[in-house]
Amino acid sequence: MAGILIYSDKDNLALELLTVARLIADARGLEVKVACINNASQSNLLSAAGVRVYKIENPAVIPADVATVAAALKEASGQLDCSIVLLSSNRRGRELAGRLAQMLGAGCLTDISAVKVEGEQIHCQRNALGGATVATQYIDGDKQVLVIVPRAFTPASAQDGGSIVELAVEVLPSRVKLLEFRAKDSSSVDIEEAPVLVVVGQGLNSQEDLASVESLAKKLGGEVACSKPLATDKKWLPEDRVVGLSGKKCQPDLAVLLGISGQVQFTVGIRDAQVMVAVNSDENAYIHQIADYSMVADLHQVVKELNDALA
Ligand SMILES: Cc1cc2nc3c(=O)[nH]c(=O)nc-3n(C[C@H](O)[C@H](O)[C@H](O)COP(=O)(O)OP(=O)(O)OC[C@H]3O[C@@H](n4cnc5c(N)ncnc54)[C@H](O)[C@@H]3O)c2cc1C
């Protein structure tokens, strides 16, 4: 039966893709098929979510060389009669998408946050104009690579009916030689997973002031994140802390935004927070318009008082 193929090397993202794939498959009468590459535990996890998993065991396919993953998926999609492939819109997924779409001669849409099937068309919502608006677009053609924003869909939960089938794919040996794996710096945090974020912007006076912001974040049970200039221009925080269009899209329960003006390239990464509290000394700053609670105040004073109150 013709199908829709999904792939992500991350377990939680693969489960989210399964939710989207079922939505499309139900409307189009397709079968959902999952590719798991050199990942036995993921095969088990996904089959327990009630789907048919195609397990690819091939040492020539290495995550460090996305071209080999794309080649494996191209062959899998052909063997499994899947003209639609769903991937996740993280950094590696986007690179994979471009390569795979080129190999398949398919259309490709990245950063999809919602989908709706309208007859033969799959309407996809994506941010446009730097996040200032949302565009609805579809690919006019059978071959489609659709790349879904992480956390836009609920992960599929366990259900019966799954199975695992081995799938052999031929892939040319990678020309990339993997010299070593290095664990991530222990100071790195995943701001997308944090329930509370204290996000600092250019209103912060100095790098030394980060200590009190860090202390506040810890007291609130969260992590520190930042606007882009703080990481890329001032280099006060690593780039994996940036919220926004070119950073992470976060959905914390609480976001405390300190000294941030609220330009669209930033807000697109935080507007799905449950509660937003903004502190900005300029009463006309746009951030006050989108925050649930806002304070026209000096952020350093507010951070000090909150730290004292929570001591
Ligand atoms: C293609 C592209 C992609 C981009 N991607 C991103 C992205 O992913 N993330 C991102 O953040 N930006 C991104 N940007 C940059 C973005 O447009 C803004 O320049 C940036 O978000 C501004 O950061 P900011 O709010 O910290 O600084 P500013 O705009 O300079 O705002 C600082 C604010 O601090 C306030 N302030 C000053 N002193 C105090 C004080 N003592 N107490 C309280 N408030 C104070 C000021 O009133 C001001 O509103 C991108 C831009 C482009 C062109």
Helical packing angle, 210-219 and 299-309, nearest 10°: 40
Q: Please answer whether residues 104 and 75 qualify as being in contact, where contact means their C-beta atoms are separated by less than 8 angstroms.
A: no
Distinct helix (H) and strand (E) counts, the chain: 9, 14
In terms of CATH architecture, what is 196-309? 3-Layer(aba) Sandwich (3.40)
- Whether 131 lines ligand 1, by a CB cut-off of 6 Å, is no
Return the structure tokens found at 82: 């899947």
- Whether 73 lines ligand 1, by a CB cut-off of 6 Å, is no
- 50-67 pLDDT per residue, tens: 999 999 999 999 888 899
Q: In which residue ranges of the chain is CATH 3.40.50.620 found? A: 3-166
- Whether 294 lines ligand 1, by a CB cut-off of 6 Å, is no
**251 pLDDT above the threshold of 80:** yes
Which residues fall within 8 angstroms of residue 292, CB to CB, at 6 or more apart?
Answer: 275, 276, 277
- SS3 state at 294: strand
Candidates 265, 290, 300, 303: which one to mutate for ligand 1, based on the most atoms within 8 Å of Cβ? 265
Task: Choose the CATH number for 3-166 among 3.40.50.2300, 3.40.50.620, 2.60.120.10, 3.40.640.10.
Answer: 3.40.50.620
Residue 262 CA: nearest ligand 1 atom is 25
Mean pLDDT of 84-103: 95
How far is Cα 232 from Cα 247, in angstroms, rounded to an integer?
11
- 177-231 pLDDT per residue, tens: 888 878 776 567 889 889 999 999 999 999 999 999 999 999 999 999 999 999 9
What one-character DSSP code corresponds to residue 234? S
- Whether 252 lines ligand 1, by a CB cut-off of 6 Å, is no
The upper half-sphere exposure of residue 28, i.e. CA atoms within 13 Å in the direction of its Cβ, equals 25
- 99-148 pLDDT per residue, tens: 999 999 999 999 999 999 999 999 999 988 877 789 999 999 999 999 99
Identify the pLDDT of residue 272.
87
Candidates 129, 199, 202, 234: which one to mutate for ligand 1, based on the most atoms within 8 Å of Cβ? 202
Beta strand residue intervals within 201-274, DSSP E: 223-226, 254-258
Average pLDDT over all residues of the chain:
94
Candidates 197, 232, 281, 305: which one to mutate for ligand 1, based on the most atoms within 8 Å of Cβ? 281
Q: In which residue ranges of the chain is CATH 3.40.50.1220 found? A: 196-309
**1 pLDDT above the threshold of 80:** no
Q: Which DSSP string corresponds to 113-180?
A: EEEEEETTEEEEEEEEGGGTEEEEE--SSS-EEEEEPTTSSPPP---S--EEEE-----PPPS-----
